[in-house]
Every structure is written in structure tokens, then in C-alpha cells.
Amino acid sequence: MEQTSIKENKMGTAPVFGLILSMSIPAMFSMTIQALYNVVDSVFVGQLGNEALTALSLAYPLQMLLIAVAVGTGVGINSLVSRRLGEKNYKEANDAATHGLILAVFSWIVFLIIGVFFTKPFFSIFTDNELVYNYGVQYTTVVLTASLFAFIEINIEKTLQSTGNMIFPMFFQLTGAITNIVLDPILIFGIGPFPRMEVLGAAVATVTGQAFSMIFSIIVLFAKEHHVTVSFKGFKLNKLTVKNIYAVGLPSIVMQSISSVLIFGMNAILVGFSDIAVSVLGVYYKLQSFVFMPVFGLNQGVMPIIGYNYGARNKTRLYSALKYGCFIAVVIMTLGTLAFWIFPEQLLSMFGNSSELIAVGTGAFRTISLCFIPAAIGIMFTTLFQATGKGIRSLFMSFLRQLVLILPIAYFLSNFGLDYVWWAFPIAEGGSLIAAILFFLNLVKGDFKKLR
């Protein structure tokens, strides 16, 4: 079937609110499932003792860096493919999707090198506890060197989402999460014929789940009909296509990588107080993913709608997508804030019975969660900037929030005690939101005036 005979894309015709729900709910569900990867690992690993939990908390920045490159590249692919589809330029949409798989392999090679040569030096910076060091090196080495599975699956996922297909990406994530959940206790504690692998078992369970997701995604990509077609017949790497992908993708990678730098810096500040403080931050990031991941799933549903209608020059539908996206995001983040305020002890107790962890974490959770609601609106503006090819604005917002503001503020507040450090999060998020609003108003007065 010729692509020009495919019916009009729903992103240009369907009612916006219903379209956002139909596209976002599967993505929100799949992103929540993705959050299970690290959370499940930490819940089971926490039963081994605080050393194991600290090891995973220290490993988290490297994991976030990996996800930043994978998702950031995918965002670039998503933005380019959706814009080309909006322009009815199917050839370039296909070319961008095909480039996605090649870029996945290149990204994996980088992390293979990091996993082999830099994992041990990384952990030696933070700890002289031999058990924490060994646990961390084992876990991180496996996750990084076997990251090819994650890179390929995520790029395919983003490609399909750019066409409006949200159901299969949800099932890709579900496949990996279920595999990980089933294998975690078996491999960590040695159930049945399997040996007790402890933290190493958590890593093996994670990458096995990613491998199953990748296999499923490849089958769907090549066996089903989509609005884009991936083909390597006569394929040549096109510098312009790569440039266009990373015009949005690179700022997104850097933006998300800043989170890795943030946690690296926060760990350096918190380790001066105690290992428990480091563990609290690690547990917070695992749990807050259940609040932020649905909003990032909403992001994935809203982004192709905005990108498509920006390419189609339809200002009314673009603004409607942004408005409804902000409303849904604020509702989600409000519920998350209430959960962190009302149930902090119960949330922390899932990661072990340490009274010190609960004592330190309760106040931290209530303070940090004040950043959720301003973050909701900030994420939606970031989505707008990325979908319209203005990735540099998103990059600046992340620099402002996580480097220019939060780390210096946290370092300054650390002079007054641990409880004050957590206030850096809501302060930085508020400053970032102000910048996002100013960037948006600039677009309204500039580029968006050209839309009809």
C-alpha cells in the first residue's frame, strides 16, 4: 500500500482532548511500567541491607545518563518524524526512522566503553566501603555493557509514537517490566535452581527484561504496517538527517543528562552528612518516577500532536494540545504531592525497616514534593519547545533548574543542616517555570504568529 493512500492522520483531525487521552494513556501506563525497573530492583535489593541500597543509589546517575541518551535520541527522532508526516513528506519520515536504529548501535558502543573502563573509577570516588563498591560495580557494569537492548527498543518506541501509535510501545514496556519483576526475586535471592546472585541478579533481571522488550519491538516494527517504513535497502547515512534528529535530540540528551550531573552533585553533598542521606535521595528518585513518569507519558502523547499541527501550521490545535496537557499534568502532580505528604513513612518502609531512613526521608519527601506542581507546567512547556524544534530553550531551562540553581542552592543550604538541603528542589523548579513562561510568550509573539 502506498503511504499517500493511508487515511488522514488523526493528529490533524480528531478532537484534541480525546486525542490526547487516547494517545497519552497508553504512554503514561508504559512510562509508569518503565519506572518499575529501578523501583523493583531497589525494593528487593533493600532487603539485603543499606549497603546494597546505597550502591544502587550511587549507580543511579550512570543509569540516568544511559536513559538520557536513549530517550533524548528518541525524542529527536519522534520530533522529526512527526513533523515530516505533518508535511506529508513520507520519504524523509522513513529515512529518519531508519536512522534511529543505526544511532541506537552507535550509542550502545559509547556505553559499552564506559561500562568496561570507567565503572570502577566512578565508584571509588564515592565510597571506601568494600561491600558498597563491589555491589555498585557489579550492577552498573552489567547494565551499561548490555544497554544495546534498551537503545534499540526505545528508538523503535519513539518512532511508533511519532505516528500516533501508543499501544505497541505500551506493550513493549509491559513485557520488559513483567520479566524484570518475575526474575528479580528469583535471581537476587536464589529461588529454585537459580543461585543467589544478590545485586548482580537485579542487574541480570533488568537487562533480560530489556532484551525481551527489544525483540518484541523489532517484530512489531517489521511485521506490521505503520505510517513510516524502516528499510535498510540502499540505505546511506545522511548527515542532514542526523543533524535534524540531534537538533532536537542533543538538547534533550543534555537536558536529561543534567539530571545525572544533578544526582552526582547531590550525592557528593549528601555523602558529607551520611550514607542514609544518599539512600534517601536514591529512594526519592525511584518513587518520584511514579509521579513524573505518567507526566512524561503525557509528554509523549502531546508531543507528536503539537509537532504534527506545527508542521501543518494549525495554531488552534497546537494551543489546545498545550492547554489540555498542562491541565492533566497539574492533576497528576497534585495527586503525587498529596501522596508524598500523607504517606511518606509507608513509602519509605518499602525499601527496608531502617528507622533512620524513615526519620530522614519523611521530612525530605514532604519538602521536595513541593516542586511537583510547578514542574508539571514546566514539563509541558518543554514538550512544546521540543515538538516545534526549539530544543535549545528546553536545554536552557534544565541548565537553569539543575545546574545554575539547584546545586549551588543545595550547597549553600547544606551549611545550615541536612533538612535545609531539600528546599533547593522547589526553589529551583519555581525559577525554571518563570523562564519557561517567558520563552513561551516570546514564541507567541514570534513564530506562532505565522501559524494560521
Q: Where residue 368 falls among pLDDT bands split at 50, 70, 90?
A: very high
Cell of 224: 506490521
- Segment 27-48 shows an average pLDDT of 77
Asked if 287 contacts 39 with a C-beta cutoff of 8 angstroms, the reply is yes
Say what the pLDDT of residue 66 is: 93
Position 303 scores a pLDDT of: 85
- Number of Cβ within 10 Å of residue 445's Cβ equals 9
Task: Measure the CA–CA gap between 236 and 291, rounded to whole angstroms.
Answer: 41
In angstroms, the CA 78 to CA 244 distance is 11
Of the given ranges (210-214, 267-271, 351-355, 359-363), which has the lowest mean pLDDT?
351-355
Label residue 356 by pLDDT band (50, 70, 90).
confident
Q: What is the pLDDT of residue 337?
A: 96
Indicate yes or no: pTM above 0.85.
no
Which amino acid, one-letter code, is at 30? S
Which range (263-272, 283-292, 383-392) has the least confidence?
Answer: 383-392
d(CA 350, CA 59): 20
Q: Which of 374, 366, 368, 370 is nearest to 431 (CA)?
A: 374
**Cα distance between residue 392 and residue 382, in whole Å:** 10
Q: What is the pLDDT of residue 8?
A: 58
Mean pLDDT of the chain: 86
What is the 3 state secondary structure string of the chain?
CCHHHCCCCHHHCCCHHHHHHHHHHHHHHHHHHHHHHHHHHHHHHHCCCHHHHHHHHHHHHHHHHHHHHHHHHHHHHHHHHHHHHHCCCHHHHHHHHHHHHHHHHHHHHHHHHHHHHCHHHHHHHHCCCHHHHHHHHHHHHHHHHCCHHHHHHHHHHHHHHHCCCCHHHHHHHHHHHHHHHHHHHHHHHCCCCCCCCCHHHHHHHHHHHHHHHHHHHHHHHHHCCCCCCCCCCCCCCCHHHHHHHHHHHHHHHHHHHHHHHHHHHHHHHHCCCCHHHHHHHHHHHHHHHHHHHHHHHHHHHHHHHHHHHHHCCCHHHHHHHHHHHHHHHHHHHHHHHHHHHHCHHHHHHCCCCCHHHHHHHHHHHHHHHHHHHHHHHHHHHHHHHHHCCCHHHHHHHHHHHHHHHHHHHHHHHHHHCHHHHCCHHHHHHHHHHHHHHHHHHHHHHCHHHHCC
pLDDT at residue 217 in the model: 92
Which residue is listed with cell 498529596? 338
Which pLDDT does position 94 carry in this prediction? 83
Contacts of 342 (CB under 8 A, 6+ apart): none
87 — phi, psi (to 5°)?
-85, 0
CA gap 23, 78 in Å, rounded: 14
Confidence at residue 4, expressed as pLDDT on a 0 to 100 scale:
42
Tens of pLDDT, residue by residue over 107-165, are 999 999 999 999 999 999 888 889 999 999 999 999 999 999 999 999 899 888 887 77
Burial class (CB in 10 A: 0-12, 13-18, 19+), 80: buried
